[in-house]
Amino acid sequence: MRGLTQAAAMELAKHNITVNSYAPGVVGTAMRSLIDERLTAREGTPRGSALQAQVDNILAGRVSEPENVAKLVSYLAGSDSEHMIGQTVLIDGGINFS
């Protein structure tokens, strides 16, 4: 994702087009619940345990809410980020540091 974002940014900057991306972590959605349900069924573990295993590795201590991601997307789409070019922003509550 980073490479694609940076390549597109380099190509489109001359046209005054900024390109950035975001990388969400575990987001609390219906899809995430379905993934947990299927993983726990396959592994024979209690429902919610697959999700909890991921939460245990998030420094914020919880999954992201869709609104957390939406606020970042709003920033990236707005004029406040006009000088940001070619960046991938992690919004994962502290799963990855890079």
- Residues 14-54: pLDDT tens digits? 999 999 999 999 999 999 999 999 999 999 999 999 999 99
Indicate if the pLDDT at residue 98 is higher than 60: no
> pTM of whole model > 0.85?
no
What tens digit of pLDDT does each residue of 47-87 get? Answer: 999 999 999 999 999 999 999 999 999 999 999 999 999 99
**Which tokens in the block code for residue 87?**
């960046």
Residue type, 4: L
Q: What is the largest CA-CA distance in the chain?
A: 54
All residues at 6 or more sequence positions from 28 whose CB lies less than 8 Å from its CB, including other chains: 63, 64, 65, 66
